[in-house]
Amino acid sequence: MHTRRLGPVLLMSGVALLAAASGPGPGASAAVGIERFGPAVNADTDLAPALVYLRTFTPNETLAAPWVTLEGVGLEPGGNTGLVLAGSTGGRVSVSSEFSLPFALASRLVLNLRARGPGATRVEVELFDDSVGTRRWHEIEVDDRGSIEIPLVHFRHDRGRVPDLRRTTRWGLRFVDPGVIEIESFELWRDDDRTAEDRELDDLIATFPEPDRVRVFRRAPFVLVTDAETLAPAPVLDALERSYVHTRQLLPSMPVPSSSVPLLVFAEDAGYRGFWSRYSAARGAAVEPLREDDGFTWQGVATASFSRAYGEVRPTYVHEAHHALMERAWGLAAQRSWLFESLANVEQLAISRQDIRLVYRTGLRRGGQWTPIAELGSGAPIATKNYWQATLLMQWLVADATRRRALDSAVVEMAQLGSSDLRPLARRHFGRDIDALAVELWWWAWDEYSL
């Protein structure tokens, strides 16, 4: 028997006729959709699957702003049980609520809709966090099935500011293909008493090649998940903890991570690469590490394969976990940007104690290998061949107390803007533009490493 104690009950029973808020007055004959929260959870009853939110649509419903907006989408008559939407490519319907939607309680989303006409229509289901101006989304194919179910853990976010489902008050559909669909309802369901963090962890474990072999170890803020039987967790967790403490020293404004930071270590390289095929496919994507990538991080999930060649702690573990830490702390998804790669390399080098002075010296003496700092620091993904230079830039920034303070304040603004682009921030935080910083870095680097 499973029961759940919620403390103050947040769900509201009753209905709000949002579509009618600015629509026809009393006595009008136009159809109206219903938004319903609840019923309220009874903590003393068995926890069975429960509908915690419902938004219905009716044929020929009158849609009223600001609750429903249409862009590149028109309404058509003749709905059997729902509202008929005709969308062009990129067209979007957006539906708002007066309240935050109960995503903290829900585990899955159910859409009752079907395509009208031959074949399937691809659409993106969007969940908007308007406080940061971004979304989580999942692409689906709408055919004549009538009901499509999506676990919330299978929604993904774009590069930039990371949305928080707990702040979602708006959802929508974006047409990838032009088409006509009939939508009846949008539902949120709660299936069990797990938290969103527990559901994510369970989903990660289930995506391993052999979930029954997986062990889980925790040390705040990290959770180490592995099927490598001979991996010793304590040294890995010690290394992650040292990395976390050091990063907070460099960036004292760094927030506490929004959730535990997962590091997945696979017993075999094939398991590591196969995980990404399955994990990304469940999110409607095809994402996989590059051939040369010993580790990979996406959607705030860090991964690597096990190896004893580097001792008890493979430096890649620290590097990838640092990427996930940065995303979950700062709410900034900046895969392969100079900021993420350079800070991760700083922590990786502290663990490996690798001497890379020869790498710096060689790079400095080969002018063709030097990328202009204005290009390197743009916030765009950088090539692996430029990691050494990004690391050199970061080591220069943290070598001086004044520059460290400027870096900390710059990263705060980067998180607010959703980009690690250093160019527009350089003068405000460092007192000079990016080109002047590049000159200072150049002379410092030659003095340190080229003699």
Do 89 and 178 sit in the same domain of this protein? yes
118's tokens: 């031959």
**Residue matched to tokens 């997962």:** 262
Pair 223, 244: CB distance under 8 Å:
no
Q: What is the mean pLDDT of residues 301-330?
A: 96
- Kindly tell me if the per-residue pLDDT of 45 is higher than 80: no
Residues 389 and 256 in one domain: no
* Of 329, 355, 390, the domain-final residue: 329
Residue 325 lies inside a defined structural domain of this protein: yes
Cβ–Cβ under 8 Å, residues 403 and 429:
no
Domain stops at, among 193, 213, 243: 193
pLDDT, one tens digit per residue, over 148-194 is 999 999 999 999 999 999 999 999 999 999 999 999 999 999 999 99
* 5: in domain: no
| Residue 177 covered by a domain | yes
Helices (H), 181-314: 196-206, 233-250, 269-281
**CA angle, residues 302, 155, 243, in degrees to nearest 5:** 20
Same domain, 384 and 402: yes
Give a yes or no: residue 7 inside a domain: no
Q: Do 408 and 441 fall into the same domain?
A: yes
- Confidence label for 337 from pLDDT (cuts 50, 70 and 90): very high
- Count how many domains the chain has: 3
Whether 106 and 55 map to the same domain: the answer is: yes
- The answer, yes or no, to whether residue 117 has pLDDT greater than 90, is no
- Domain for residue 342, yes or no? yes
The CATH number given to whatever domain includes residue 287 is 3.40.30.160
Average pLDDT over residues 12-19: 33
pLDDT at 42 over 70: no
pLDDT, average across residues 286-301: 93
Average pLDDT, the chain: 88
Is there a single domain that holds both residue 185 and residue 226?
no
Answer yes or no: is 111 within a domain.
yes
> End of a domain among 193, 217, 246?
193
Task: For residue 319, give the amino acid letter.
Answer: H
Q: What is the DSSP letter of 449?
A: H
* 250 and 165 fall within a common domain: no
Same domain, 52 and 169: yes
> What pLDDT is stored for residue 39 in this prediction?
55
pLDDT score recorded for residue 172: 97
3-state secondary structure of 86: strand
pLDDT at 4 over 50: no
For residues 320 and 260, membership in a common domain is answered with yes
Q: Tell me the C-alpha distance between 191 and 197, whole Å.
A: 15
CATH number at residue 29: 2.60.120.430
Helix (H) or strand (E) holding 443: helix 434-449
Question: Same structural domain for residues 132 and 203?
Answer: no
Determine the pLDDT at residue 409: 98
The pTM for the full model equals: 0.89
Query: Do 26 and 174 belong to one domain?
Result: yes
In a domain? residue 170: yes
Residue 44 lies in a domain: yes
- The DSSP letter of residue 45 is S
| Same domain assignment for residues 321 and 339 | no
Give the domain range for residue 244. Answer: 194-329
**31 confidence band (pLDDT: 50, 70, 90):** low
